[in-house]
Structure 1
Amino acid sequence: MSRVLTILTACITIVVAMFGGVASAYLVGGLVEEHWFTGASRLTNILFLILVFVMIIATLLTMAERKWSAFIQDRMGPNMARIGLPGLKNRSLGGLPHILTDVLKMLTKEDFIPAAANRFLFNLGPILAFAPVFALFAVVPAGPSVNVFGHRVDMVVATPDFGMLYILAIASLAVYGTALAGWASNNKFALLGGVRATSQMIAYEVALGLSLVGLFLAFSSVQLPAIVGELGSAVGLGTGQAQYLWRTDGEFDLGLPAWGIILQPLGFLGFFAASFAETKRAPFDLPEGESEIIGYFVEYSGMKFGLFMISEFVEVVVLAGVTTALFLGGHHLPFGGEWLASQPLMQEHGWLFGTILGTVFWLKVLFLIWVQLLIRWTFPRFRYDQIQALGWKILLPMGLANVFVSGALVLWDPSLRALAVLGILELGVLAVLTMTRKEPAEAGGAHGAHGGAHGGHDTHGHGLPAGAHAAHAMPAHGAAHASTH
């Protein structure tokens, strides 16, 4: 019972903290718009969205992943680091002191640079791996555009006409960071890890781009704000994912929204899998290869290693944010959004309406982060040939087929209802495939009976018990099976 109360308290605390953070972002944005200049809220959005939300969530993930992995593996979590102050010496404080110890260790650990390394490129590698990840979130709308103190406040840093092209271009820069880190170390093992990382990231960038083409066709735009959409001033005038494909009549809007995951379930699956592989986290963490002491950052120490590590957690947050904006309706509610916007209180206090929807956006982001952690600690590491086969032989053909089918359905029915019907059928098929379990083969079947009937003789004619014969033959069979691969 106490554990349930602890979890509920933590969830409520997270929701309240996010609500307060989003409200602060809107109110500060309205103040700077009033007292500074038009567009000044975009500057404060850099502070709140990137440095506060993204960075703090990524930092807390270093502790949350330890706790979640301990929960899945049924072992003790991060509880050893303590603060030596009166009243706190015997308290683990939820594992939070581990974050402080990580920071202190990285800042004080010796900064080692190999003598034969290229110093400039060696120092440039962590920067190229870390900086582009932060830049990706600049075009992600984390809330609606509302009026605060009589001025329009957009909860996004930038809205270029080439929004998604910007994301694809900046994301590809991370390849240079991993490649340079492996090559500049002048270490054969680091170079091997860098080659692995480069090959893997390039393979999945192709599938990543193809998985989004169907979405671009459906909404006729590559701008994230246009894809997310806005609620209309009247019933049925919503745009992007804010519109309804089917809805009921009445004051309270209820229906099927045009979310990306409904229109493009295969696009969602391909984008999420390819993006997950781009983060180079398990089960796609072959570029690191800890068990083989091979990794593109094997020669890095101190804060340079810390940049590589924290960039992975930032990628987790950014991936969840971009996926939410593209496929989960962004900051929109699945129903009741138009009704909420029409309430007098929301029309009078725009910042409150923006805060509610902004909190919805970050809750969706947290859900996708949880899904990523669940995958991270559930699946074992893939072989490298399996990783490449998934990218080139499964995701790429699936993306091509999805583009052709989506384009044909959009031309046939511009209302997107035909595309939604196909999407619902695809979701049903995926659900059935996910829930279907293959029955294990019965042990000791016909093969065991056959071996028993022949008295358990080995290839040399020596009589052996049936169990010993099976134990004797299995290694040879396993070796033969491995040799075929």
Structure 2
Amino acid sequence: MKRIITVLSGMGLIVFACAAVTAVAYVVGALAEEHLFTGASRLTNILFLMVTFVMIIATLLTVAERKWSALIQDRIGPNRARINLPGLRNAPLAGIPHLVADAVKMLTKEDFMPALASSFLYKLGPVLAMGSVVALFAVVPAGPSITLWGHRVDMVVSTPDFGLLYLLAIASLAVYGTSLAGWASNNKFALLGSVRASSQMISYEVALGLSLVGLIMAFSTVQLPALVGTLAAETGTSTGQARYLWQFTGADGGFDFGLPAWGFLLQPMGFLGFFAASFAETKRAPFDAPEGDSEIIGYFVEYSGMKFGLFMISEFIEVVILAGVTAVLFFGGWNLPFGGEWLATQLKDAPLLYGTLLGTVFWLKVIGLIFVQMVIRWTFPRFRYDQIQTLGWKILLPMGLVNVFATGALVLWDPSLRYLALFGFLQIAAVLALTFSTGDEPQASHGAGHGALGHGNTPGGLPTGAHGHALPAHGRVAESLDAKAPVAASVSSSH
């Protein structure tokens, strides 16, 4: 019960923190619009969205990953680092002291550079890896646009007409950071890791781009705010993912309920392809072949101190940005699946509360998608390198092509997207059926087992040699297993 209360308290604290920072971001943006110049709120959003939200969440993920992985694997998480102050000496403080220890270690560790490394390119590698990742969030809308004190405040840094193209272009720059890091280190193991990273990222970028073509055709736009859409209560007509495919209630202005036009319902194949390809580009397990320490040493093996820290934190930033982009493209952004029109009508005279609520909804979706990534990270083992390439070129790429042709045909047939949604439901049902289906395990017959382990034969039925030394017969195997059963039971009980 104590653990449940702790978890619920932590969840409540996360919701409160997201709401508080979102409200402050809107207020500061409105003040900037009033006292500086039109569009000044976009500059303040750099501070709140790209620094406060993204950086703080990514930093806390270094501890959250240890906590969540311990929860998944049923073991004790980080609790050794303590603060030597009265009342805190015996308190693990949810593992936060480990975060402080990591930061101090990376900031004070010796900044080593190989003697034969290319100095400029060696230093440029972590900068490119970090900068290209952070720049991605500049076009991600994190909340609705509201009018506060007579000034329009947008919860986004930039809204270019080519939003999706910007994402694909900037994401492709990350490959230069990993390539330069391995090549400039003048280390063959680092070079091998960078070559793996480059080939993996390039192969998955093709599938990544194809997975978004169907979404672009469905909504006829590449602007991220247009993909999220607007409600009829705000602009008179619901657009994008804010509208309903089928609306069952709320036509008279009451509580609205229906099936929203969210991306993952219209494009389930596109969602699976995008999520898998984006996850592979983060270079995290099960796609961590570029830094697989059981096979090679990663592309950042020659980096120490804060340069290594930039590579490490950039991976966690990629996790946050992948969650944010996925929420915008496939899960309606800040829109609710029901009651959106009703809420906009009820809070028409309280724009700050309205923006705060929906902004909090967006960040809760982001945190939920981050948790999904962590579950995948700590569930699947590392894929072999040939399996990674096979998935990218032979599965995701053909799947993306099929999705593009099917989406184009259905959009031309029915521009209302309802038939596309029905096709999406069939895909979701097929995926669920494949996921939860279990085949019957073959059971070895008694006679076959006896013959396979008979005198003078190996388990495969091959002769053992001139002297006829063989594995124990069936009865002796059973005897040996029975003899060891109490030991196994005691080991199991000790766990």
TM-score class, shorter-chain normalisation, is over 0.9
Please state how far the C-alpha of 1:249 moved relative to its aligned partner. 3.3
Q: Match for residue 402 of structure 1?
A: 403
Please state how far the C-alpha of 1:269 moved relative to its aligned partner. 0.3
Please state how far the C-alpha of 1:36 moved relative to its aligned partner. 1.2
Q: Match for residue 145 of structure 1?
A: 145
User: 1:236, 1:244 within 8 Å by CA — same for their partners in 2?
Assistant: no
Q: Match for residue 305 of structure 1?
A: 308
1:414 aligns with 2:412: no
Deviates more, 1:458-467 or 1:203-212: 458-467
User: 1:212, 1:271 within 8 Å by CA — same for their partners in 2?
Assistant: yes
2:256 alignment partner AA = D
2:421 alignment partner AA = A
1:296 aligns with 2:314: no
1:349 alignment partner AA = A
1:134 aligns with 2:140: no
2:69 alignment partner AA = S
Deviates more, 1:112-121 or 1:241-250: 241-250
Per-residue deviation, residues 184-224 of structure 1 (Å, max 9, x unmatched): 00000000000000000001000000000000000000110
1:271 aligns with 2:277: no
Residues 23-34 of structure 1 mapped to structure 2, 5 A cutoff: 23-34=23-34
User: 2:454, 2:472 within 8 Å by CA — same for their partners in 1?
Assistant: no
Deviates more, 1:346-355 or 1:390-399: 346-355
2:273 alignment partner AA = G
Per-residue deviation, residues 332-391 of structure 1 (Å, max 9, x unmatched): 000000000011xx1112111011000000000000000000000000011000000000
Once residues 38 and 124 of structure 2 are traced to their aligned partners in structure 1, the CA distance between those partners, rounded to angstroms, is 36
Gaps of 5+ in 2: 458-462, 478-495
Q: Match for residue 39 of structure 2?
A: 39
Once residues 152 and 473 of structure 2 are traced to their aligned partners in structure 1, the CA distance between those partners, rounded to angstroms, is 78
1:50 aligns with 2:50: yes
Please state how far the C-alpha of 1:460 moved relative to its aligned partner. 4.8
User: 2:455, 2:470 within 8 Å by CA — same for their partners in 1?
Assistant: no
Residues 91-130 of structure 1 mapped to structure 2, 5 A cutoff: 91-130=91-130
Q: Match for residue 260 of structure 1?
A: 263
Residues 287 and 465 (structure 1), Cα distance of their counterparts in 2 relative to 1, 3 Å cut? closer
Q: Match for residue 332 of structure 2?
A: 329
Once residues 64 and 236 of structure 1 are traced to their aligned partners in structure 2, the CA distance between those partners, rounded to angstroms, is 42
Once residues 247 and 342 of structure 1 are traced to their aligned partners in structure 2, the CA distance between those partners, rounded to angstroms, is 17
Please state how far the C-alpha of 1:86 moved relative to its aligned partner. 1.6
Residues 353-364 of structure 1 mapped to structure 2, 5 A cutoff: 353-364=354-365
1:341 alignment partner AA = A
3-state DSSP of counterpart to 1:348: coil
Q: Match for residue 437 of structure 1?
A: 438
Once residues 288 and 299 of structure 1 are traced to their aligned partners in structure 2, the CA distance between those partners, rounded to angstroms, is 13
User: 1:286, 1:381 within 8 Å by CA — same for their partners in 2?
Assistant: yes
Please state how far the C-alpha of 1:442 moved relative to its aligned partner. 2.2
Residues 175-324 of structure 1 mapped to structure 2, 5 A cutoff: 175-233=175-233, 237-250=237-250, 251-324=254-327
Once residues 234 and 149 of structure 2 are traced to their aligned partners in structure 1, the CA distance between those partners, rounded to angstroms, is 23
Please state how far the C-alpha of 1:448 moved relative to its aligned partner. 2.1
3-state DSSP of counterpart to 2:69: helix
User: 1:235, 1:338 within 8 Å by CA — same for their partners in 2?
Assistant: no
Please state how far the C-alpha of 1:110 moved relative to its aligned partner. 0.3
Once residues 339 and 473 of structure 2 are traced to their aligned partners in structure 1, the CA distance between those partners, rounded to angstroms, is 66
User: 1:455, 1:466 within 8 Å by CA — same for their partners in 2?
Assistant: no
Residues 454 and 213 (structure 1), Cα distance of their counterparts in 2 relative to 1, 3 Å cut? same
Per-residue deviation, residues 261-318 of structure 1 (Å, max 9, x unmatched): 0000000000000000000000000100112351100000000000000000000000
User: 1:148, 1:349 within 8 Å by CA — same for their partners in 2?
Assistant: no
TM superposition score normalised by structure 1: 0.94
3-state DSSP of counterpart to 2:442: coil
3-state DSSP of counterpart to 1:245: strand
Q: Match for residue 462 of structure 1?
A: 468
Per-residue deviation, residues 428-469 of structure 1 (Å, max 9, x unmatched): 11111111223333246664244257763536582634559x
Residues 233 and 73 (structure 1), Cα distance of their counterparts in 2 relative to 1, 3 Å cut? closer
1:109 alignment partner AA = K
3-state DSSP of counterpart to 1:247: strand
3-state DSSP of counterpart to 1:342: helix
User: 2:204, 2:281 within 8 Å by CA — same for their partners in 1?
Assistant: yes
Once residues 446 and 45 of structure 2 are traced to their aligned partners in structure 1, the CA distance between those partners, rounded to angstroms, is 65
User: 2:161, 2:223 within 8 Å by CA — same for their partners in 1?
Assistant: yes
2:109 alignment partner AA = K
Please state how far the C-alpha of 1:182 moved relative to its aligned partner. 0.3
Once residues 439 and 119 of structure 1 are traced to their aligned partners in structure 2, the CA distance between those partners, rounded to angstroms, is 59
Gaps of 5+ in 1: 472-485
User: 2:18, 2:360 within 8 Å by CA — same for their partners in 1?
Assistant: yes
3-state DSSP of counterpart to 2:348: helix
Q: Match for residue 484 of structure 2?
A: none
Residues 445 and 397 (structure 1), Cα distance of their counterparts in 2 relative to 1, 3 Å cut? farther
Q: Match for residue 483 of structure 2?
A: none
Residues 454 and 86 (structure 1), Cα distance of their counterparts in 2 relative to 1, 3 Å cut? closer
Once residues 21 and 296 of structure 2 are traced to their aligned partners in structure 1, the CA distance between those partners, rounded to angstroms, is 42
Please state how far the C-alpha of 1:92 moved relative to its aligned partner. 0.9
Once residues 234 and 166 of structure 1 are traced to their aligned partners in structure 2, the CA distance between those partners, rounded to angstroms, is 27
Q: Match for residue 488 of structure 2?
A: none
User: 2:456, 2:468 within 8 Å by CA — same for their partners in 1?
Assistant: no
The root-mean-square deviation of aligned C-alpha atoms, in Å, is: 1.9
Residues 467 and 33 (structure 1), Cα distance of their counterparts in 2 relative to 1, 3 Å cut? farther
1:15 aligns with 2:4: no
User: 1:196, 1:286 within 8 Å by CA — same for their partners in 2?
Assistant: yes
TM superposition score normalised by structure 2: 0.92
User: 1:236, 1:243 within 8 Å by CA — same for their partners in 2?
Assistant: no
1:95 alignment partner AA = G
